[in-house]
């Protein structure tokens, strides 16, 4: 459960909180937490002497172990749990040789590793939920602030119709909230203790196997599954899918922001600061730094999730290979997802909106953005097909003559026969043609309260 990112790149692509959670020493401690909890659980039902359980628990602190030595030993044993259990047993024996007999009693390596992963995932989800909550609040605040700010809606990267900028922002908040709901559900239902012994039957514990499992789940505060799940990795795959979706939603927002920051658009910007977004050669540059981080994560996350999906295909009761592929992949996915969310928090809490520039861009096409509004009004008189033809012809003429569409329409007798000049003028007010946008903003903001 390494950071899987170099010290130089990790701060750019992940949050500090997630780096701490995915740190090797933290993961090692989670493995030791499992061993301590196992001893206590078995002591509670009389399998392990209480004194031995106490001695084992006292030895279960990560700073007593050599990470490098464990890593080197793992290359020969095939996983980290085997050398860890051997080292833990030796440490316990120094204090109490009798207690050392009960280290790792009835468990298998995968029980330790998978349960430690679940403990790490619980902490990771909590960190993600904290950041996603901040991002949602930031975009919701901006949505309320800009619900009456007219902006260009773009389809296929072209000007399409006017829209309230607040609707775009409310959509960001709602998309992130859907990821929040998925993460909360995983936190409550998707995590599970792994405890099955050598082949998933708990045979080494005889009739006490399930009693130990129940006590162990209570000790670790992990949900108790119906049975061990060593080679059924759907839980891990679901977690990966939720992380990839969250990263993708962040990437969508980041894509929009990076496009709005273009010099030619210049409608909204990431927060600025000393040394932020500059160029090594061009003093005037203001690059989209946070957006770039989120976009990098959105590019990486689907491929990392794909590795987790591929690792679902495992053989029989314990698998060699696919399980191992999860070890570096899942923490990497957590890290880049955390980086995406941290970047989006930065944007949500500091987005700088140029309302005046949005209006300039609305007017940039000489009124063409209001063509549909005119066509629909005209359609009420002459039918949709004829109205479309009249406005399309007028639009082409406006472009050819570099004239304003409103003026071309006002001078077209085929149009003014049905729409007065005053009526045409009103049709060119952007926020008069927003449909049910305000109701949609209300619905989206209200959805943020759904649990």
Q: By C-alpha distance, which of 128, 183, 169 is closest to 349? A: 169
DSSP string over 170-197: HHHHHHHHHHHHHHHHIIIII------T
Residue 233 annotated to the active site: no
Ramachandran sector of residue 339 (left: φ over 0; alpha: ψ -120 to 50; beta: rest): alpha
Active-site residue among 144, 185, 276, 279? 279
Containing H/E element for 383? none
What is the C-alpha to C-alpha distance for residues 44 and 201, in angstroms, rounded to an integer?
21
Label each residue of 412-426 as H, E or C. Answer: CHHHHCCCCHHHHHH
What is the C-alpha to C-alpha distance for residues 131 and 340, in angstroms, rounded to an integer?
10
DSSP label of 208: G
Answer yes or no: are the C-beta atoms of 193 and 221 closer than 8 Å: no
Residue 319 annotated to the active site: no
Active-site residue among 318, 319, 357, 359? 318
Burial of 312 (0-12, 13-18, 19+ CB in 10 A): middle
DSSP string over 87-146: HHHHHHHHH-HHHHTTTTTT--HHHHHHHHHHHHHHHHHHHHHHHHHHHHHHHHHHHHHT
DSSP label of 65: S
Which residues are known catalytic residues? 279, 318
């Amino acid at each position: 459960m390494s950071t899987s990112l170099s010290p130089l790149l990790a701060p750019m692509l992940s949050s500090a909180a997630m780096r701490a959670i995915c740190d090797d020493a933290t993961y090692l401690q989670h493995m030791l937490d499992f061993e301590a909890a196992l001893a206590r659980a078995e002591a509670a039902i009389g399998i392990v002497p209480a004194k031995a359980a106490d001695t084992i628990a006292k030895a279960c602190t990560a700073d007593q172990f050599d990470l490098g030595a464990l890593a080197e030993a793992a290359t020969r044993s095939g996983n980290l749990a085997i050398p860890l259990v051997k080292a833990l047993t030796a440490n316990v024996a120094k204090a109490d040789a009798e207690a050392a007999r009960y280290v790792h009693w009835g468990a298998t390596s995968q029980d330790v590793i998978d349960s430690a992963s679940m403990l790490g995932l619980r902490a990771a989800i909590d960190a993600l939920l904290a950041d996603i909550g901040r991002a949602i609040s930031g975009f919701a605040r901006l949505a309320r602030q800009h619900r009456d700010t007219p902006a260009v809606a773009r389809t296929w990267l072209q000007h399409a119709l006017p829209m309230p900028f607040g609707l775009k922002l409310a959509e960001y908040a709602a998309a992130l909230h859907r990821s929040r709901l998925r993460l909360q559900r995983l936190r409550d239902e998707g995590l599970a203790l792994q405890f099955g012994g050598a082949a998933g039957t708990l045979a080494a514990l005889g009739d006490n196997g399930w009693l130990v499992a129940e006590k162990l789940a209570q000790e670790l505060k992990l949900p108790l599954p119906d049975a061990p799940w060593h080679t059924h990795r759907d839980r891990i795959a679901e977690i990966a899918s939720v992380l990839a979706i969250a990263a993708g939603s962040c990437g969508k927002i980041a894509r929009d922001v990076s496009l709005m920051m273009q010099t030619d658009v210049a409608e909204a910007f990431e927060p600025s600061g000393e040394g932020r977004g500059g160029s090594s050669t061009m003093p005037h540059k203001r690059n989209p730094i946070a957006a770039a981080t989120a976009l990098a994560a959105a590019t990486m996350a689907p491929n990392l999730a794909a590795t987790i999906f591929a690792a679902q295909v495992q053989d029989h009761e314990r698998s060699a290979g696919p399980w191992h592929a999860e070890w570096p992949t899942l923490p990497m996915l957590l890290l880049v997802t955390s980086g995406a969310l941290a970047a989006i928090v930065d944007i949500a809490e500091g987005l700088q909106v140029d309302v005046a520039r949005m209006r300039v861009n609305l007017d940039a096409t000489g009124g063409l953005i209001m063509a549909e509004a005119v066509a629909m009004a005209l359609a009420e008189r002459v039918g949709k097909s004829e109205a479309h033809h009249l406005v399309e012809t007028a639009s082409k003429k406006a472009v050819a003559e570099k004239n304003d569409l409103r003026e071309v329409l006002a001078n077209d007798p085929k149009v003014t026969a049905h729409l007065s000049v005053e009526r045409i003028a009103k049709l060119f007010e952007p926020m008069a043609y927003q449909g049910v946008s305000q109701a949609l903003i209300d619905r989206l903001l209200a959805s943020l309260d759904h649990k």
